[in-house]
Amino acid sequence: MVRMGPLVLRVSGAAVTLGDRQIVQDVSFHVAPLDRIGVVGPNGSGKSTLLRLAAGHLAPDRGSVWWAGGRAQVGYLPQGEPPTKSFGIEKLWQPGVPPERARRAPTAWSGGQVMRAQLALLLAEPAPVLLLDEPTNHLDVGGLEWLEAALAAYPGAVLVASHDRRFLERVATRILAVEAGRVRAYAGGYAAYQQEREREAARQRFAHEQYQAKRRQLERAIAAERQRAQQGRASRVKTGGDAEKGAKALYATKGQAAAKAAQAMERRLARLEAPAPIVPTPMAWELRAPGKGARQVMAAEGLGFRYGDGPWLFRGASFTVARGDRVGLVGPNGAGKSTLLAVLRGILPPSEGEVRLSPRRVAHLDQTAADQMRDAQSLWDTVVPPGAGARERAQARQWLGP
């Protein structure tokens, strides 16, 4: 594509290998001064790798990355990194973190507060290109609106990886989709990208149906020819005597021709290629219901919590959760959602009131679990406990993908 005007970033034919795996290849795209680019793709597809490449934190093993202002002129928010420096209180006024909270050590902040602080620092010093790796993950509605407004006013180009479709639709004017080791650019916002993907999926379904029909047609024809070949042989066995020699020869020839035709069609069938998947099918999950237990699995009564003698995060919470319930927990960043979950799991003792669980088993995914998993040797070791049986291992393989 020919583009007039200056560019701030260009990636040409880049490939990245991490360990012994090629993560992405043939990556080419450019960024103009005020571009708003959404980076999308399934987990593990390579969004963070792409942003690290664009930030100059990773060198491509092939191809090149070029920055108009040099590599130093890039603002970059890596994914899920805990705060490394202490934040200045004056800077945190801006994103709306109350000063009494800002004065607390960053470790006592909620995920959303840390994210807002990090974003505020980056936005305060504009660069020609700003790269944000999943900034929306911990933000509440207020935080998202604040970020949307800040990005709209940002004087440079922005590449932002996110799973939040609404946010992407409001922010992005182009989409880079990372999938199966490739990066594809789509003009237009997230809705346009989705429409194009649906069209691609429809084309793919059609190509696949045609492929299946062709296969079935060949298989039927092969079966028919094989039967004819069989009949030819059978009649050759049945017919005897000199008088029928002519007929026998004819049958044999017919049978041989049919066998040959079947073989030719079998070769065609073997060569028949399945259409390349454009839109991969989602992973299959098998969830087994836990054993039957009480109908009411959780009850809270007059529950209240505060850290030390600080302000109450919540008080007088009374509710029950029945088996099969799906409960959404909502509230602004720092309101105490993670704290409430910790109290319900029995990790934190309630300051008042009580929690009853039946059975006493709670499965839990911590907001910062990903950070802890980072230290584990591999995803496999994280998911598969030592001594796991064949069934667990097969299940894990299915969850984790190839």
Find the shortest distance in angstroms from Cβ 48 to ligand ADP: 3
Q: Where are the alpha helices (DSSP H) in 12-87?
A: 47-55
Exposure string over 58-95, b if 16+ CB within 10 A, otherwise e: bebeebebebeeeeeebbbbeebeebeeebeeeebebb
CA separation for the pair 242, 265 (Å, rounded): 35
* Helix H or strand E segment including 301: strand 296-305
For residue 127, the Cα-to-chain-centroid distance in whole angstroms is 28
Q: Which residue of 9, 27, 40, 48 would you call a contact of ligand ADP, by CB under 6 A?
A: 48
> Residue 263 interacts with Mg ion (CB under 5 A)?
no
Query: Looking at 26, 34, 44, 215, which residue binds ligand ADP (CB under 6 A)?
Result: 44
Structure tokens at 257: 């021709």
Could you say whether residue 14 binds ligand ADP (CB under 6 A)? no
Examine residue 48 and tell whether it contacts Mg ion (CB under 5 A): yes
CB 104 within 8 A of CB 117: no
By CB under 6 A, residue 86 contacts ligand ADP? no
Q: Which stretch binds ligand ADP (CB under 6 A): 38-46, 217-225, 226-234, 325-333?
A: 38-46
The option from ligand ADP, Mg ion, none interacting with 44 (CB < 5 to 8 A, set by class) reads ligand ADP
Strand 314-322's sheet: what is its strand order? 314-322, 296-305, 352-357
Cβ neighbour number for residue 34 with a 10 Å cutoff: 12
When the beta carbons of 17 and 212 are compared against ligand ADP, the nearer one is 17
List of residues 6+ apart from 166 with CB closer than 8 A:
none
Binding piece for Mg ion, criterion CB under 5 A, among 39-47, 82-90, 299-307, 383-391: 39-47
Instruction: Give CA–CA dist 188/176, Å, rounded.
Output: 10
Q: How far is the CB of 45 from Mg ion (least distance, A)?
A: 8
**Minimum separation from the CB atom of position 148 to Mg ion (A):** 21
Rounded Cα distance between 63 and 65, Å, is 7
Which residues, numbered 160-179, are part of the site for ligand ADP (CB under 6 A)? Answer: 178
Q: Least separation, in Å, of the C-beta of 16 and ligand ADP? A: 8
**Nearer residue to ligand ADP within complex by CB, 41 or 334:** 41
Structure tokens of 100? 């009494």
Q: Taking the complex as a whole, how short is the minimal distance between the CB of residue 81 and ligand ADP, in angstroms?
A: 13
Contact call for residue 370 and ligand ADP (CB under 6 A): no
- Could you say which of ligand ADP, Mg ion, none residue 45 binds, taking C-beta under 5 to 8 angstroms by partner kind? ligand ADP
Round to whole Å and give the CA distance between 39 and 45: 11
Does 294 help bind ligand ADP (rule: CB under 6 A)? no
Q: Does 79 bind Mg ion (CB under 5 A)?
A: yes
Question: Is residue 138 a contact point for ligand ADP (CB under 6 A)?
Answer: no
Q: Does 23 bind ligand ADP (CB under 6 A)?
A: yes
Interaction partner, residue 92 (Mg ion, ligand ADP, none; CB < 5-8 Å by kind): none
d(CA 39, CA 46): 10
**Which residues in this chain contact ligand ADP in the complex, by CB under 6 A?**
18-19, 21, 23, 41, 43-49, 178
Footprint of Mg ion (CB under 5 A): 47-48, 79
